[in-house]
Structure 1
Amino acid sequence: MRTNYLLALLSAFLLWLAWPPMPFTGILLLIAFVPLLVSVENIIRGNYNKKGAKIFLVTFVAGLVWNTASIYWVFNSMNAFLPTIPSLLISLIPYALAPLLMATAFRLYYQLRKSQGIALSFVGLVAFWVAYECLHQSWDLAFPWMTLGNGFANTHQLVQWYEYTGVYGGTLWIWTCNVLGFLLYWQKKNKVSAISNTKLTIAFASAVVLPAFISILQYSTYEEHINPSEVVTVQPNIDPTEKFTSMPAEEQLDLLIQLSKSVAKPNTEFFLWPETAISSSSWINEEDFRSHPSYNKVVNFLDSFRNGSVLSGIESIQIYDNPQTKTARPYGDVFVDNFNAAVLIDNSTKLQFYHKSKLVPGVEQMPFGEALSFLKPLFKHFGGTTGGYGSQDEPSVFYAQSGIGVAPVICYESIWGDYVAQYVKKGAQFIAVVTNDGWWGNTSGKDQHLQYAKLRAIENRRWVVRSANTGISAFINQRGDVVAKTQWWVPTALAHEINLNENLTFYTKSGDLIVYIFTIISLLSAGLIIRQKIIRR
């Protein structure tokens, strides 16, 4: 078994080496699972007891090492607020949960192999994997950070066809190449030819080269329709751990305005400020926001920009006479909902709010409701609320006075390709990501978050403008190129002319079709496993 574990660790190393923010290594994903598949095949064909359990354990170890190495920054962020042991225990949730689901996919693959041929079983394995990725972006513990297709974020020139498939096209490409690579290696190693080695070599080479070639051709020939808009993104660099102790809220707002003015032009149409940029030591009631000093300051600032709008993160509340939502909490004689929100302020009296929908498990919402309520005091230390934030069910688009539609994507939401596509489908002509990546410190978390935004640009062929409190703020064009960006932990602002786009890509219109197809295949595969167990009885 030692050899099998070493093979699993080799796969984990290759996956980590290929993962953002590593430069130019994404292509390794196309062979990274081959050692793990060899390890699993060794167990299936070997003289072992409890083969299913051994396959589960080997694949779990590979997944745990890969995940922990790639998202180590989760522990960094927790350790800033909690002692080492509690931080480590909480970090084990994202470190270990995806590997558990990954190992379950391989365990089901083994069950399928007992009654089906290897070709059909590999189709089942891919389907089980896609189903696990789908589950891990849909349930209360959603954390799709390590979805395989995200791995090409640093080599986005190779996946321009995400405008048709989304990131699950990347997952499918990775698995197709790895399965063919494994079959080719296994046959040559064992000197068998169930399939012609020549045909396998051609199939493997074609699977690697053709998608990359098509993508590079798309990348080199893609031209943006000229439809300019002048946008400013601001990075105030306010330490999130000292939100109201290092600088009063009024001074924070003054800094945002000062930085905006430093690069603004008379024709600037949008000023983008980061997540929770507008806040107060006391609650900001959305109904009364027009009478709030912050609102008046922003409106006065916009007097110099006739067509200007400020899109900013805001910490806000709504007050009800009765508990209208599950997250509303009693406060005296009323009920209060807290929101991590975005607001659009312009020269009219109209206000537009959007309430973050994809909430961070534990930090902004308590997973599985009362079942984990005993953890609420612990999660409160990470900047969340013990009762959870309110949210809205669907994305909504902000419209400026000029009619320009913008997607107000808040932080964590930018990882969901299908969710961001809904903004665009509803009329967003560019994507604005407001975030506060300062919680993670100077780790690869902030770099990964930036690079994942490149995939949203490709999927929807929209410019992405990021405003990150401490970095990295950036402008990303419709091909996924970062054309301008800030440094980490530097107060600054950037101005750039972007091109608006109204055309919808196939992915924007159709969403994650690959998920639907392979989820059905996974259910059929599970049905074959159950049928075989019934027959054996």
Structure 2
Amino acid sequence: MINFSNLLFKDTTTDISLDTPATPNRKAKLMNFIKRISLPVLSGLLLWLAWPPHILAPLLFIALAPLFIFADRVKVEYNAGGKIFRNSFLAFFIWNTLCLYWIYNAGQELGVLGALGIVAVPILLGSLLMSLVFFLFHRIRTQFNETTGLVALICGWLFYEYLHQEWQLAFPWMTLGNGFAEIHQWVQWYEFTGVFGGSLWILIVNILAYKFYKTYTLPGNKKELRNAAIGLFTIITIPIGLSYYMYYNYTEAKNPANVVVVQPNVDPFTEKFSNMPPEQQLNRLIRLSDSLGQPNTEFFIWPETAIINPVYEVQLPNDANVRIIQNFLSKYKNANVITGAETIKIYNNKATSTARLSQQSGQYYDVFNSAMQIENSPEVQVYHKTKLVPGVESYPYGEYLGFLGNLVIDLGGTTGGFGKENKNPVLYSQSGIGVAPAVCYESVFGAFMANHVRQGAQLICIITNDGWWKNTSGYKQHASYAKLRAIETRRCIARSANTGISSFINQRGDILKQTDWWVQTVIKADLNLNSKLTFYARHGDYIPLVASVIAVTFIILAFVNKFLNKRFKSI
């Protein structure tokens, strides 16, 4: 019987120092420096190679092991905590930079310095939070033991990922569990755990890989080495085997809805929305929709900010764009258009924290990045995007970080920050079909989308404009993550990207059909609706919630223990 607890947490470390005797020889110093950073650099490169759009996700199982080895080798050196923090920061900075460089393209209208500022915030902040987890691991291990330290690392990492999903600086793009998006057949069990289950799996396997390496380097441990190898193999293969079983045995109930997705391909750099005649954009969308529309079409999906002119919500039934779209729908009796738009809501007072005062009218107003559903009736449903991109669409902690207001980018919407009040998470068609809308960045938030599904959505619709990132890995990552939302909720997905990848995804995460990059086109498919709730859709992110409580407990214990040690030493 294999004791997995021993495999994970048995201390097989040896006190190996990376320090070499001081020498005036510059070459020796350089070689010592290279030797010291080689393991962190290796971790950073492995994480990058494993990340979408690459198809080397299995590297995630060993990518953190070099950092564990490094932390072990310097643990008894002077200022070991500082060395572990600095070198883990180097590893995560490499990973984040190589995966998120494309953010720079979105900020080019701010100039070089502004664009660098926009890309630096998520890279530096993410790297900092990840490094603090490894620092916590060292502190807990030093004050208690390695078993406690490894538990603290697992819980601390999940706590960081959960925090980075929920606070105002949220950027969950680099959550470890997202790394399996290109091999979604391995993680069908996300319908029970969400992506945090993948993060937990990766952390455990990396610890086992590290333990296997340490056992391999010690002589005379053939039995322990065999057990370590069996344990590592088992922890990897059982979830994969279970996932393939779920994948091949999952059958969608036949309940089709005909959906048409439009990709108008408006270049945000040369055909700025504000400079393109509104009727030209609208005519393009209608022409493309009409080319594949059929009598039983339920939904025409248009991308984020497809309607150029701001729409005043108080005048929705009489808005010129709405009337044109309703006229188009007259030949499709059951059809609905779901489109991105910039909508404006007016108040008599400062009704929300994001409301701004109009100097002309003296009234307050909010501007929303919205999804509108238009049908063959006067009713128009509006959904307001609430997961806003920090520093791009919102001022995170504006009362403390007001300077970020100077970095806000106009990505086809408004400068000055969007409102985020939303009371309508599900759009319902005339025939009663519930659709969960996700405007761009929102599709990265698993629990957020699961909440929409829990409130009655049978289908997920993603509208986005990925053209700001140009032909980089950014739009590919964004499109790939959508497959994980399909698995978590077992909902088909219709994805409309202005420029990027528009696609249809089934309930197993398979891409049924997709467009090429940077082409004007339209696609259609029959997508099966689903009303059943997965375990994850019902219960959300229970894994990181439990881990966060444990991590905070560890942090408090570390401070208390350090304080008591100082007091006893002073006596």
Instruction: Report the TM-score range of the alignment, normalised by the length of the smaller protein.
Output: over 0.9
Q: Is residue 363–residue 383 contact of structure 1 (8 Å, CA) maintained in 2? A: no
Change (3 A) 1:8 1:74: same
Q: Which residue of 1 aligns with 2:5?
A: none
- Deviation digits for residues 388-407 of structure 1 (CA, Å, limit 9, x no counterpart): 11112566100001010001
One of 265, 272, 289 as aligned partner of 2:316 = 289
Superposed displacement of residue 72, structure 1:
1.0
Matched, 1:372 2:401: yes
Q: How does 1:119-138 map to 2 (within 5 A)?
A: 119-138=147-166
CA contact (8 A) 1:34 1:182 kept: yes
Is 1:341 the counterpart of 2:365? The answer is no
The answer to whether structure 1 residue 5 and structure 2 residue 33 are counterparts is no
SS of aligned partner of 1:327:
coil
Q: CA deviation at 1:336?
A: 1.2
1:227-266 alignment, distance < 5 Å: 227-241=255-269, 242-244=271-273, 247-266=276-295
Equivalent residue number for residue 317 of structure 1: 344
Structure 1 moving runs of 4+ over 6 Å:
none
Return the match for 2:296 from 258, 262, 267: 267
**Equivalent residue letter for 1:247:** M
Q: Deviations over 1:183-211 (max 9, x none)?
A: 11012213375993222221111111111
Contact 1:82 1:381 in 2 (8 A): no
Structure 2 counterpart of 1:41, from 72, 92, 107:
72
How many angstroms apart in 2 are the aligned matches of 1:514 and 1:106? 20
Report deviation, 1:270.
0.5
Q: Following TM superposition, by how much is the alpha carbon of 1:386 offset from its aligned partner in structure 2, in angstroms?
A: 4.4
- Are residues 1:220 and 2:220 paired? no
The verdict on how the C-alpha distance between 1:489 and 1:33 changes in structure 2, with shifts beyond 3 A counting, is same
- Is 2:176 aligned against 1:145? no
Per-residue deviation, 1:496: 0.4
- Check conservation: 2:100, 2:119, Cα contact below 8 A: no
Read off the aligned partner of 1:439 and give its amino acid letter. W
**2:30 corresponds to:** none
Quote the residue 1:26 is aligned against.
57
- Given that 1:395 and 1:422 are in contact with CA atoms closer than 8 Å, whether structure 2 keeps it comes out as no
* 1:4/1:42 contact within 8 Å kept: no
Which residue number corresponds to residue 69 of structure 1? 98
Taking the TM superposition and a 5 Å limit, the aligned residue runs for 1:98-137 are 98-137=126-165
Partner of 2:426: 397
Write the letter of the residue equivalent to 1:200: A
Q: How big is each residue's C-alpha offset from its partner over 1:225-283, in whole Å with a ceiling of 9 and x where there is no partner? A: 11111000001111223334552011111110100000111100000000011121xx3
Q: Deviations over 1:456-497 (max 9, x none)?
A: 000000001100011210000000011100111111110100
Q: Deviations over 1:109-142 (max 9, x none)?
A: 1110112221221111010001111111111111
CA distance in 2, matches of 1:398, 1:438: 26
**Conservation of the 8 A alpha-carbon contact between 1:11 and 1:34:** yes
For the Cα contact (< 8 Å) 1:234–1:271, is it kept in 2? yes
Match of 2:206 in 1: 178
Is the alpha carbon distance of 1:382 and 1:418 closer, same or farther for their aligned partners in structure 2, counting shifts above 3 Å?
same
TM-score between both structures, scaled by the size of structure 1: 0.96
Answer yes or no: is the 8 Å Cα contact 1:357–1:395 preserved in 2.
no
Aligned to 1:114, the other structure's residue is in SS state: helix
Between the aligned partners of 2:228 and 2:560, the Cα distance in structure 1 is 32
CA distance in 1, matches of 2:165, 2:474: 18
Query: Which letter maps to 1:533?
Result: K
In 2: Cα distance, 1:351 partner to 1:224 partner: 31
Give me the whole-angstrom Cα distance separating, in 2, the residues matched to 1:203 and 1:176: 11
The question of 1:15 aligning with 2:47 is answered yes
Amino acid at match of 2:525: H
C-alpha distance in 2 between matches for 1:356 and 1:35: 40
- Deviations 1:23-58, CA, capped at 9 Å, x for gaps: 2x111101111111111111114xx21111110001
Contact 1:275 1:411 in 2 (8 A): yes
Q: Give the letter for the 1:330 counterpart.
A: L
| Alignment partners' CA distance in 2, 1:420 and 1:274 | 18
8 Å CA contact retained: 1:409, 1:420: yes
Partner secondary structure for residue 240 of structure 1: coil
Q: Is the 8 A contact 2:464 2:496 kept in 1?
A: yes
Counterpart CA distance in 1 for 2:112 and 2:505 is 37
Is 1:198 the equivalent of 2:226? yes
Q: Which amino acid aligns with 1:411?
A: C
Structure 1 CA distance for aligned equivalents of residues 455 and 432 of structure 2 = 13
Q: Distance in 1 between matches of 2:252 and 2:226?
A: 42
Contact 2:408/2:416, CA 8 A, preserved across alignment: no
Distance 2:59 2:192 in 1: 23
Q: Which amino acid aligns with 2:48?
A: W
SS in 2 for 1:22: coil
Q: Deviations over 1:159-186 (max 9, x none)?
A: 0000000000000000010001101101
Q: Give 1 or 2 for the bigger CA radius of gyration.
A: 2
Partners of 2:401 and 2:559 in 1: how far apart?
32
Q: Any unmatched runs of 5+ in structure 1? A: none
Residue 302 of structure 1 pairs with residue 333 of structure 2: no
Please state if 1:60 is matched with 2:61. Answer: no
Structure 2 residue identity aligned to 1:35: P
1:229–1:51 CA distance, 2 compared to 1 (3 A): same
* 1:306-344 per-position Cα deviation (integer Å, ceiling 9, x unaligned): 110111111110111111111111113211110000111
Partner SS state of residue 333, structure 2: coil
Q: How many Å separate the matches in 1 of 2:558 and 2:422?
A: 36
Which stretch has the larger CA shift, 378-387 or 121-130? 378-387
Question: 2: distance between equivalents of 1:97 and 1:119?
Answer: 28
Identity in percent: 46
Q: RMSD between aligned alpha carbons? A: 1.6
Q: Assess, with a 3 A threshold, how the Cα gap between structure 1 residues 393 and 403 changes in structure 2: closer, same or farther.
A: closer
Determine the C-alpha separation between the residues in 2 that align with 1:115 and 1:324: 50
TM-score, normalised to structure 2's length?
Answer: 0.90
| Contiguous gaps of at least 5 residues in structure 2 | 1-17, 19-32, 567-571
Match of 2:9 in 1: none
For the residue of structure 2 that corresponds to 1:231, the secondary structure is strand
- Which amino acid in structure 2 is aligned with residue 165 of structure 1? T
Q: Counterpart of 2:533?
A: 504
Amino acid at match of 1:10: L
The code of the aligned residue for 1:418 comes to A
Contact map agreement 2:491 2:530 (CA 8 A) in 1: yes
